[in-house]
Amino acid sequence: MRLIPLSELTTRHADVLGNDYYDPTGSTAYGLNGDRIGTIRGALAEPETGRIRSLIVDVGGWFSSKEVVVPVGMARIEGDGVYFDNLTKDQVSGMQAYAVGQDYSMDAQYADERVLRAANPQYAMDEQSYTRDRGYRSDDALYQTPDRLQLLEERLIVNKDRFVAGSVEIGKHVETRQESVQVPLQREEVVIERHTVSDARPVTGDVRLGEGSQTMRVDLEAERANIGKEAYVTEEVSVGKRTVTETQTHTAELGREVLDVNKTGEVRMDGLSGTDTSMGAGTLGRTGSAAGDVAGAAGNKLEEGADRLRAMGHEVAGAVTGNPKHDALAAEDRAKANMNNDQADRDMMDADRKI
């Protein structure tokens, strides 16, 4: 089966992949004993299903410049790294060099497989049963999807930095006001006292009225206010800083990865209880409660709808391309949908009995 780069699928065949696929491009690659050997440069996938079959590994840690194609079954995905626990430098030296974008021929694929199968007994396969006509086998460990995929979620990381939020300048200016003050002032007044002479007596001598008049001058004194001003210290100002704490609320949108499990046929799975209902059909653990059965039925109904949508997609692709393989895939998806529908009915019957 011809494989094409995953990047080509994501750009030209988005209808095949949808939104749920795993792209390991950019992950750090580790070889035997956890030695860092390079970087994942991409992946090769089936054009019909989008299923990743091989990883393109830049082995710059072992060779100055070489990229090889390693079957996905040899990979162990953990965190942001891809581990090839059984891959050695000697094996890589015997593998075909690959350049991103070139056609990975069947001859090159089988040549690389023989190098890896010969060095790793767990990937060995009878040559007679493994032929080019059979394609990928479900029991071939070399191409089985890694057992472990870590699901990630985003969490808020709060950092703080200091910035100048404002400044204060202290100065002074003069403002005036009118103020009145009561000042007691003294002044002199003339006091004229007149007394009547009771025993009037004559003036001796030759006296003529009006002659010899005398004028008396009396100077009067008074106080006046002299107003002055004097500055006093009435207040002292000092400038300092203090730290206060206030709580602000910030909102951000976070994403998390949830597990998708695709089930074929009538399969019951254990060990998945406690997961949320956003997982694929049949992934809720059977806890024995009616609620669990109802949730399982709902999940199977969702999976049935997804299978029927996939069947319709294959029917359309078969009508456009004339490839009978799409008709076979559509029939397979319809069969899965029927099985999921039957399983949903059985789950609802179990729930009714428990209630």
Q: Which residue has the higher pLDDT, 162 or 11?
A: 162
- Residue 346, both tokens: 């059985």
Q: Mean of the per-residue pLDDT values for the chain?
A: 78
Q: Which residue has the higher pLDDT, 280 or 130?
A: 130
Locate tokens 């939104």: which residue?
19
d(CA 329, CA 46): 14
On whether the CB atoms of residues 208 and 243 are closer than 8 A, the answer is no
Residue 133: predicted pLDDT: 43
On whether the CB atoms of residues 92 and 68 are closer than 8 A, the answer is yes
**Model confidence over 236-269: pLDDT tens digits?**
888 888 888 888 888 888 887 776 666 666 656 5
* pLDDT average, residue stretch 158-183: 86
Residue 279: predicted pLDDT: 37
The upper half-sphere exposure of residue 29, i.e. CA atoms within 13 Å in the direction of its Cβ, equals 30
- Residue 151, both tokens: 């699901």
Give 187's DSSP letter. B
Locate tokens 């942001």: which residue?
80
Q: Which residues contact 67 (CB under 8 A, 6 or more apart)?
A: 41, 56, 57, 58, 59, 97, 98, 99, 100
Strands (E), 245-341: none
On whether the CB atoms of residues 29 and 58 are closer than 8 A, the answer is yes
CA distances from 85 to 36, 69, 125, 202 (A): 11, 15, 20, 159
Residue 84: predicted pLDDT: 92
Question: Is 222's pLDDT higher than 60?
Answer: yes
Give 272's pLDDT tier (boundaries 50, 70, 90): very low
Q: Which long-range contacts (CB under 8 A, 24 or more apart) does 80-84 make?
A: 80/27, 80/28, 81/27, 81/28, 81/29, 81/30, 82/24, 82/27, 82/28, 82/29, 82/30, 82/40, 82/55, 83/30, 83/34, 84/29, 84/30, 84/31, 84/32, 84/37, 84/57
Taken in order 197, 201, 202, 204, is the CA torsion positive or negative?
negative
> SS3 of 77, please?
strand
Residue 355: predicted pLDDT: 65
d(CA 83, CA 180): 94
On whether the CB atoms of residues 127 and 118 are closer than 8 A, the answer is no
On whether the CB atoms of residues 104 and 78 are closer than 8 A, the answer is no
Residue 277: predicted pLDDT: 38
Residue 280: predicted pLDDT: 37
- Say what the pTM is: 0.41
Question: Is 126's pLDDT higher than 70?
Answer: no
Question: Is 2's pLDDT higher than 60?
Answer: yes
Residue 30: predicted pLDDT: 94
Strands (E), the chain: 4-5, 28-30, 36-45, 52-58, 67-71, 76-78, 81-83
Question: Is 303's pLDDT higher than 50?
Answer: yes
d(CA 267, CA 283): 10
**Model confidence over 155-165: pLDDT tens digits?**
777 888 888 88
